[in-house]
Structure formats: structure tokens, C-alpha cells
Structure 1
């Protein structure tokens, strides 16, 4: 009997070794323009990649990951092209820096003062991808497969080299802002300049900018409080800024078990991201204050004055997107309706004017 058992064990072991030896290794490069000090990049090696690896345990597939972060393969805003053209199989796509190619994904950036809750904004945008196929079309047009893993941004702040007590304080000041957020400065008297986190510190330090529109959880690791110590909580709102995506042709060529692992890992990334973000928001403001920053918050009248003084950038954006044959007006209404239904209280109902 013992001999039979040993023979059976040997046969099983041989089969297992053979299966492992025949396992297919999938080479995949994942790219991000930002460095891993930022959450939307850091959680790729911490959550997304381990989730994919874990799900594929016991299958015949394993991944060999090549991680290219911090602009080593593609700079901020160039990730879309890098993945689209197959230079990388996956990428952290910053849709906020690619508003022409990923127009519908930027709806939250054209609707400021809507909700400061990143959970509401992120879940709403992610669900729109499930409920409205037109949201996915913009990815597919660029040979990209949406994987979820949305990058949510906490409530945007104004960080400046000078105190802001009234709208008049902004007159003539040069303020850096990401992509479409430059529109938030219309009507304030400030001069909006398009920029991104990788350059803000030096541009403020050298006087190119007098301040920036940024969020606390990135301002802290970026040490922006050292050069822009005046933090004004205006209530611009939380935002959706991008997602993980894969090269569509590469994704379609993968077996279903691998595709499902990638999509499930996107969900795991989202859950971990929001949990981490919510913990970090308060801590980041506290840490910057402890490092010498001065934090103030505008009152409701100031916030409403700012919002009402802007052109209706949402309607302008929607009309432009409509003219390109995409569903700008439809997505604007769907987004605003969903935010209101989730408990958001917009300072200005952009879709209803």
C-alpha cells in the first residue's frame, strides 16, 4: 500500500512540475508619468500587481512585470500614447492631462464646486463606465481597454505665496492648474497657466507661478507648503483624474482568466485607493500646518461668488464635445444627476442653466 501511495505522489509531483514548467509567462510593461510617491502610482505595485499575481496562482499563467514610473518611459500626459502604440501593455492614464482624447472622462473637471467627497465623485464616474457605453468608447477609440482602478482626487485647494482674503487678492496673479482646471480661474482676475505636479515646486520657487490649484494629499509629498505656505480651502471639489488601462489589442489577445484577473485587480485598486485617500486627506492638511503652512477656508458667500463669476464652463465643454460627435450633454446631465442622487450639494447646477 505504501508503495502505491508513493507511486501516486510521485506521479502527482511529476504532473505539477510539468505544469509549472509549461506555465506561460506574460511580459507586461506598466507605465506612469508620475513617480510612485503619488498614490495613483504607488498602489500599482502595492495593490494592483499583487492582486493580479494572486488571482493567477494555480493557473498556467504568470506575469513578468516591467514597471516604468516617474517619466522613465512616458512623461505625464504621454501615457495614453505609450499604451495605445504598444510601447507599454498597461498604463496609469491621467485623463486630466489628455482632455482631447479622453474628453468624457473629464466631466468632473468642468463641473467644479459640485462635491468635495472623493467617494461620491469616483464611484459616480466608475459607474458611468458601467451604465453608459459611450464612456467606454473614448477609451476604445484610443486602442485602450478600461480596467477601472480610478484615480480619485481629494478636494482641490488654492496654495499661494500670498494670503487670499478676497477675490481682489488674485488680480494679476499667475496660478498653475492641471489641464481643464485652468478654467476655474475665469472671472477671478488671476492668470491661469496649465501645469502639473512634477513641475509645480520649482515653478513656484522661481516665480513662474504665484500659486497653484492642487490637492492636499499631493501637496504634502510634493512639499509645496515650503514654497506656497498659504493654503486656502475654496471647495473646488474632488475629482476623477484617470484610470488604469491596457493596450486593447494586447488585452484581447489574453486568455479570459488573465482578462478577469486584470479587471478584478482594478476593483481591488479602487477599494484600496479610496480607503487610503480618506485616511490621508485630514492627515495631509495637519502635517502641512505643522510644517508652517497657514490654512484658511472661505465662507459660503466667497465660494458662491467664485462659482457664479465663472462662465458656464460645463455647458461650453458639453457643446464642444457634442460637436465632436460625442455625448457631452448626455454625460454632463448623467454625472450631475448621479452626484445629486448620492447626496452631493452643488454650489452651482451647471447642467440646469
Structure 2
């Protein structure tokens, strides 16, 4: 459940951040940037280490400067509340987790309804950044919420299954409670497991206390979250890489900026995406190795297992697209656009969700 922001809190935050609802031009600005996750997670770390320095460097000599207020880890908005914080003016810029705002950013969640498509997060993020402007429904979703998408797609490395029991067959999942982020709960349909919606900030305790028997998660977050301590059986199923959001600005605020500042923000978001994914690619194998050295057991399923899992699922992509179609959003076009884009980029999906 999302927390309702009181008018008093919003007014206080506006006063702190210096946000002005009407478009303004200023040489020296105070800008609040928000993320629900803490900096231990790579995409938040790069907001500090890549995005902000890139903006500052680009503004040198332009007569514009920014003093940053970095609000991460729930200090201003919890996971899934970033969109509202930016929309309402509590922050000018946010790392908006589209994954945890499936109602307001439904088209952005297309990757989470199309598992088993491609495991390369760099490819997914590059093309999802482009689709935010080229796909009419994706672009409209941001604008409907008063946001301007800047870029900096948060690609997520190939999802894994981490459990406190060994998985040798799909039958081993029968009756087990498995936590998964947002729409990824749908990946468990047909396996016999009980899918429970959750997120990285709670997984460790929920496995430790027996609420979950395991989680669907990715290696680059599993190690920082110490999940292998409570779920030491790591199964590489090949669910695929995903898109989880990116940098977005309050549109009224952004529209009032000097074009040089607007371009600096966009360029910095693009630089952040490149740096983040280079860091991500270098860490995945390393992190799996560290978890193995600390007692985890890593196994990879064969093609038959992967095909059995994918074939046993409902066509969740088709159900998702049809639901969007009925609501006035062209979900079928979004699904086809994404799948065509991935196939053109070299993907060989286990299931062609859009063609069934």
C-alpha cells in the first residue's frame, strides 16, 4: 500500500527542495533526487557517482549550477512511491521504479510479462530507453503522470531462483511460497508454487522467518542483500533480463528549465545507463562466485527444463495486453513493438508471446 503524502509534509518538502510549481529559469538551483532503494543497490549508487557528476560537468561554463539533495532509501519516498514524489513536487527528479508502479506505468512493465526472451540487460536497457519516446503508449504513460522521462534505463540482469531447498525439477516447487517483484509473480503460474509479491528491501527477513521459501531475484542484488545466507540454492532458470525504470523529472519543472540544463540531464542519464551496465556486467559472474565461496550452490537448468517452465505458463503477456487494450491503452501494440525490437536485436525467445 502506498503512503498518502499529507499537505503539510508536501509543503515542508517543497520548501526544502526549492521546488516551484510554475516553470522557472534560474542560474543556481537546488534539486532533490529521490530513490526508494538505498545506495547499496547499483542503480542508486550510480545516481550519485555517475548521473550527478555528469550533470555538474556539463553545466560548467553555462552559467547554471545545481546544488543536489539526495534522498535515498526511503528517506523521502519508499520503493514504489518515487513517481508520486516527483509528480507532486516533493522531488524534481526520481529514479522511478516502473516495476512497482504497474497501474500508472503499465506499458513500461512489458518486459516483466515476457520472461524467457533475452538475458542481456545491456540490450534490454538500450532499446527500452529508445522505446520510451518512440512508442506512443509508453511516452503517454509518463506524461499522464506529469513526468518527463530522461533516460538511464535500469536494466536488471538475468533473474534467478534462490531457495532454501534444492530444485532439481519443477515438481520441487509444489506448494512452496516464492517471493517475486510485481508482475514477476506471474512467472510462477503453472509451477505449483505460491507466488507472493515482494521486493528487495524485505526478502532477507521474509525468508529467514519462514514467510517465503525462496525468491525470484538477480545476482547483482542478491549478494548485497545477503540472500544466499538464507536461500543458498541458486538456480539459473533463464527468466531473462528486465527493465525496471529510469530517471524521470517533474514535467512542469523540466519544461521551465533552460535548454542547456535539459540537455545536460538527458546526456547524464544516457551516461549513467552506460556506466551502470558496464558495472553490472562486470559484477554478475563475480557475485555468483562470491556467493558460491560463501556456501551457496549454483546450478543451471537445461533447455528442456526451461521449455517445460515456459510452456507450462499461461500466456501472461497476452492477458496483460488484452487488459490494456480494453482500458484504452494499446497493449497489443506495445507487446508487438517490444518483441519485434528484441528479435531484431538478436533475441531468440523461448516463447514468442505476441504471436500466440
TM over 0.5: yes
Q: CA deviation at 1:122?
A: 1.2
| 1:66 corresponds to | 69
For 1:42-71, what per-residue CA distance to the aligned partner results, in whole angstroms no more than 9, with x for missing partners?
Answer: 000100000000000011111010000000
Judge conservation of contact 1:48–1:266 (CA < 8 Å) in 2. yes
| 1:57 corresponds to | 60
Distance 2:325 2:125 in 1: 23
Q: CA deviation at 1:331?
A: 1.0
CA RMSD between the two structures: 0.8
| 2:251 corresponds to | 248
Distance 1:88 1:131 in 2: 26
- Which secondary structure does the structure 1 equivalent of 2:151 belong to? coil
Q: 1:318 aligns with which of 305, 316, 321?
A: 321
**Pair 1:189-2:192 in alignment:** yes
**Pair 1:166-2:166 in alignment:** no
Distance 2:191 2:51 in 1: 41
- Which secondary structure does the structure 2 equivalent of 1:311 belong to? coil
| 2:303 corresponds to | 300
Distance 1:48 1:75 in 2: 21
Q: CA deviation at 1:24?
A: 2.1
Q: 1:198 aligns with which of 181, 197, 201?
A: 201
- Which secondary structure does the structure 2 equivalent of 1:198 belong to? coil
| 2:146 corresponds to | 143
**Pair 1:352-2:350 in alignment:** no
Structure 2: gaps of 5 or more residues: 1-25
Judge conservation of contact 1:120–1:344 (CA < 8 Å) in 2. no
Report 1:27-106 matches (<5 A): 27-106=30-109
**Pair 1:26-2:29 in alignment:** yes
Between 323-332 and 43-52, report the one with greater CA deviation: 323-332
| 1:111 corresponds to | 114
| 2:345 corresponds to | 342
Distance 1:106 1:51 in 2: 28
Q: CA deviation at 1:133?
A: 2.9
- Which secondary structure does the structure 2 equivalent of 1:50 belong to? helix
Q: CA deviation at 1:346?
A: 0.4
| 1:130 corresponds to | 133
Q: CA deviation at 1:132?
A: 2.0
Distance 2:69 2:196 in 1: 34
Distance 1:238 1:132 in 2: 20
Distance 1:134 1:236 in 2: 25
Size of the aligned set, in residue pairs, is: 331
| 1:13 corresponds to | none
Q: 2:335 aligns with which of 314, 332, 336?
A: 332
For 1:223-268, what per-residue CA distance to the aligned partner results, in whole angstroms no more than 9, with x for missing partners?
Answer: 0000000000000000000101001111111111111110111111
In the superposition, the TM-score normalised over structure 2's length comes to: 0.92
Q: CA deviation at 1:284?
A: 1.0
Distance 1:270 1:215 in 2: 18
Distance 2:197 2:178 in 1: 9
Distance 1:313 1:226 in 2: 32
Larger radius of gyration: 1
Distance 1:250 1:76 in 2: 23
**Pair 1:284-2:287 in alignment:** yes
Report 1:261-276 matches (<5 A): 261-276=264-279
Q: 2:158 aligns with which of 155, 158, 176?
A: 155
- Which secondary structure does the structure 2 equivalent of 1:162 belong to? coil
| 2:8 corresponds to | none
In the superposition, the TM-score normalised over structure 1's length comes to: 0.93
